[in-house]
Structure 1
Amino acid sequence: MKGLYLVEPAVGLYSFSCFLIFPLMQQFVYRRLWEDITNTTYPESDNVTRCMKNSSSNETSHHEEVQKHASLLSLYSDLFSAIPSFVVTILLVAYSDRGGRKIAIIMPVIGTLLYISGLLAISFFKLNIYLIIGCSIVSSLFGGFGTFLGGCFAYVADISKNEHQKTLRLAGVDMILGVLAGVASLSTGYFLKAAGFNWPFITSLIGLLLLLLYAIFVLEETVEKVPPDSSSLDTPPQDSPIKQMFYGIYHVFARRDCRSKTILIMLLVAFTFFAFADIGGVSLITLYELNEPLCWTGIMIGYGSALGTMVFLTSFFGVMAFSYCKVPQTIIALMGISSFTIGMIIVSFSKTTEMIFLARIPMFLAAMPFPILRSMMSKIVSRAEQGALFACISCSESITNTVSIAAFNGIYAATVAWYSGFIFLLSAGLCIIPSILIGLFNSLLYYLCTNSLISYYWYCHVSCHLHNI
């Protein structure tokens, strides 16, 4: 039976299965640590202001202590799993240029299956909460979320017929990721209220098993369809497979001329800094909502997470509309960064449920920079180097995920007692760096355009590719 060239169902299943668990994890850790530290049952209430009922200094100190331990547990879990995940991401996504994209999609799914199976065991048998660190390490040996997305983005680059379609399909993958994440996040609160933590874990496992079957038996491979071209990698046959993979990543940069290399590095650095600010800030919103004075319940956390992840849907339509109107891609990226910055500033001062919901509105275009910057970088390299490029991007994302979550959790643990919103102001402030880099990129193109006929030709060539003019 002939397979399908549709990676989007795989993205949807993986997104739903993972984001059914992600917002649940902080609540799971928070409740278990509360019981371990206070030797009392976690206070359940449908009233979102429940923790304001008891404003004693003892109750407040319990909340602060649990917050610190929860953030530090996340810190340890991410740090110990960082290096294995980083190495596996490089190997799998770069290897997909030769061995096929499906290996970079299937292996992370297996790792996530093992991780969630471990969480189910910890929840069902009341095992030590710090075993989560071990589950993270085992899962990282198969890659992670970045590995899966790197394989999917390279797959999309393979099957896209032109650059405009590539931009929209990359944005579409981000949109599916966000919408299914929102549905999963919204379901989490009801799952938790109706059946506790075990059933969401079981549901996630079922979704991952369906995804594994789809990826193995239905999804068609694309690598053999990529025609050889003059820029294909001419690696000496005597090199080992691992050397060939790193050789391919090296040539993504080494084979570029100085100007293309400068652009590629600038875009990659801008992407990394924005991801650092975005991931670090957004990862702590749930913990912030659990803390005083919001003290949200599981259902409210689900509503908030669902509204937050709808940014991917609105950002997709934003990319589609602005691309149709021939808005330069750098301007679209700057609009997305501004959207995220304004939202984070509002979150930092939000002390009521109404304000935290309103803070999501300015962020409705905040996901636009990710597909735009990926598309701009993808256009600079050849089709035979897409896997190596997205291996670089995925590794950058993996390192950024680990470092940003670790750094932001550490800073949050140190500042939560005197100002819990400080971390979101920091996230907004860091967006200045990618904005400056993208602005410098635009200035560089303009300078080259106005200084010589040769530079003008090069400017027009790059502009046609990067701005779709």
Structure 2
Amino acid sequence: MDEPDTVAILDHVLGPDSGTEEDQETSVTCADIEENSARCSKPPFLCLRPVTVEPVLFFSTFSIALQGPLFTQYLWDRISEEVGYNSSRRSDCNSSQAIDPLQKEVETLVAHWNLYISLGGLSLGLLVVPFLGSWSDKAGRRPLLIIPSLGLALETLVYLVVIYMRLPVGYFLLGRMISGISGDFNCILASSFAYIADISDQTSRTFRVAILESCLGLSGMLASIIGGQWMRTQGYLAPCWLVLFARLASALYSYLFVGESVLIDPSVRLLSTSHHKALWKLYSTGGSQSTGCFHKYKLWLYSFCFFVVVAVHSGCRELYVLFELSSPLCWGSELIGYASAALHMAYLSSLLGLKLMTRCLEDSWVALVGLLSNITGLLVFTAANTTPLMFTGYGMLVFFMMTTPVIRSKLSKLVDPSEQGALFASIACVETLCAMVGSSVFNSLFPATLHFMKGFPFLFGAIILVIPACVISTLKYLDQRRRAVT
């Protein structure tokens, strides 16, 4: 990954002056903790060099990837039992037969509960994450590694109680709200990238960030394979206990081995409106580097492209398991695990593709290749009625994660270094809104279109992605024209 893309990702979680020479000179490593106690908060044990926050992100991503498919499958089985639908579903797995009305009812209820539970956590996260992210620049990174991990662990405890006592599925919403109010996984992700930026220099930062990003794909792939096999043999409870242990391990590792990487200001306030004022100024004027209306419009248009792409990613991801559970596929937990692993493999292949393509292509072309990969995969899912065709769709998604880093990079180039914090604070809010809108639209669209086209939400997502492709192409053409004139 080239330096501009890396800076774009890092600026998402860093403050306005994160790229200055002064910060680079004062950044410390875990080995400096004892010598600079005023800057770093010493953990009970020294850091395991060169490993720092990588295990935290690995454990957290592992737990998210393991719990997601299990949760949807549990909802399917519980609701199937409540409405009297045969949960084995094998007799209905024939595309030439009419779909059982009870199956449609189960699909509708599962999609709706997915929507309610997702919105419960995401709506709270939208309020909490901006404050916690800004607070960590002066209060430290460690709290934003520990607190969200404990919140996720409490969420899993609630899920275990619901499964053990067979409580109504509405209690899952309580667990999701606990996770949302503690910052959720987004805080862990942001703090991990910020920590790596704090302790690395310009020469090693790209490699360290690439290693951190690879944790997302590797842990997700491992969790998907383990979860599918384990649930098939031992049910839901054993994998859920592993999710709990992984989240507690993340919090424990953060407390024991991760030293603080920023100067702690005891007077820092958690609740402040200063970042909201900075966001308003940035998007109303186009920033300090604004050269006119075109500059401001580019800022808005690239932000819009980012919103559309991430919303489609979030919405479709919630439907994959539900689509695979029902006829004509009727997959079991093992195949669902393999499919989830294939989806997470795209994180690694996209990272490799981005590294190679940026050597010979401009950023805009790389983003368009990523959108083309995403659109092709969704079109295959639209017509997927067999297992090989479904896995072909996952194969088409090989580069679908290349688009968002490029858009972040382009946004970061449009604003002044002193405005990077405000810019990526807004992107953090946009990402939460994307998850909310994507979950609402796609989970509502799926049951509403079952009667005429089961894969319609994927077709809808593919059509929507044409919009950012057109916007990026147009902006690239206009930039070329402006450079030719000048």
Q: Under TM normalisation by the shorter chain, which class is it?
A: 0.7 to 0.9
**Residues 1:256 and 2:288 are matched in the alignment:** yes
Instruction: Give 1:67-466 correspondences, 5 Å limit.
Output: 67-159=107-199, 161-162=201-202, 170=209, 172-224=211-263, 241-247=271-277, 249-250=279-280, 255-259=287-291, 261-323=296-358, 325-378=359-412, 388-452=422-486
Distance 1:451 1:172 in 2: 42
Per the alignment, residue 232 of structure 1 pairs with: none
| TM-fit CA distance, 1:380 | 5.2
- Which runs of no fewer than 5 residues in structure 2 stay unpaired? 1-44
Instruction: Answer yes or no: is the 8 Å Cα contact 2:371–2:403 preserved in 1.
Output: yes
RMSD: 2.8
Partner of 2:31: none
C-alpha separation between the residues in 2 aligned to 1:143 and 1:320?
31
Shift of 1:114: 1.3
Distance in 2 (CA, whole Å) between partners of 1:65 and 1:11 is: 38
Contact 1:186/1:303, CA 8 A, preserved across alignment: yes
Q: Do the aligned residues in 1 keep the contact of 2:94 with 2:328 (CA within 8 Å)?
A: no
Moved more, 403-412 or 1-10: 1-10
Query: Is the Cα contact below 8 Å between 2:144 and 2:191 reproduced in 1?
Result: yes
Distance 1:271 1:371, change over 3 A: same
Aligned residues: 433
Match of 1:43 among 88, 103, 110: 88
Inter-CA distance 15–294: structure 2 relative to 1 (3 Å threshold): same
Q: 2:52 maps to what in 1?
A: 6
TM-score of the pair, normalised by structure 2: 0.81
| Cα distance between partner residues in 2 of 1:358 and 1:223 | 46
- State the SS of the aligned residue for 2:401: coil
SS in 1 for 2:434: helix
Change (3 A) 1:85 1:185: same
Task: Output the CA distance in 2 between the equivalents of 1:187 and 1:334.
Answer: 34
Identity %: 27
Deviations 1:7-26 (A, max 9, x none): 33222111101111011111
Cα distance, 1:159 vs structure 2:
4.6
Q: Using a 3 Å threshold, how does the CA distance of structure 1 residues 246 and 204 change in structure 2: closer, same or farther?
A: same
Conserved? CA contact 1:108–1:143, under 8 Å: yes
Aligned partner of 1:52 in structure 2 is 93
Residue type of the alignment partner of 1:32: R
Distance 1:385 1:258 in 2: 12
CA contact (8 A) 1:93 1:388 kept: no
| Shift in alpha-carbon separation, 1:239–1:129, aligned structure 2, 3 A | closer
Give the Å deviation of 1:263: 4.1
State the one-letter code of the partner of 2:222. V
Q: Is the 8 A contact 1:170 1:375 kept in 2?
A: no
Structure 1 unaligned runs (5+)?
226-236, 453-469
SS of 1:368's equivalent in the other structure is: helix
2:341 corresponds to which letter in structure 1?
A
Instruction: For 2:268 and 2:220, locate their aligned partners in 1 and report how far apart those are by CA, in whole Å.
Output: 45
Q: Determine the C-alpha separation between the residues in 2 that align with 1:156 and 1:376.
A: 22
Q: 1:336 to 1:171 in 2, by over 3 A?
A: farther
Separation of aligned partners in 1, 2:268 and 2:60: 38
In the superposition, relative to structure 1, how do residues 444 and 154 fare at CA in structure 2: closer, same or farther (>3 Å)? farther
CA contact (8 A) 2:289 2:415 kept: no
Contact 2:139/2:268, CA 8 A, preserved across alignment: no
CA shift in 2, pair 1:422/1:28, >3 Å: same
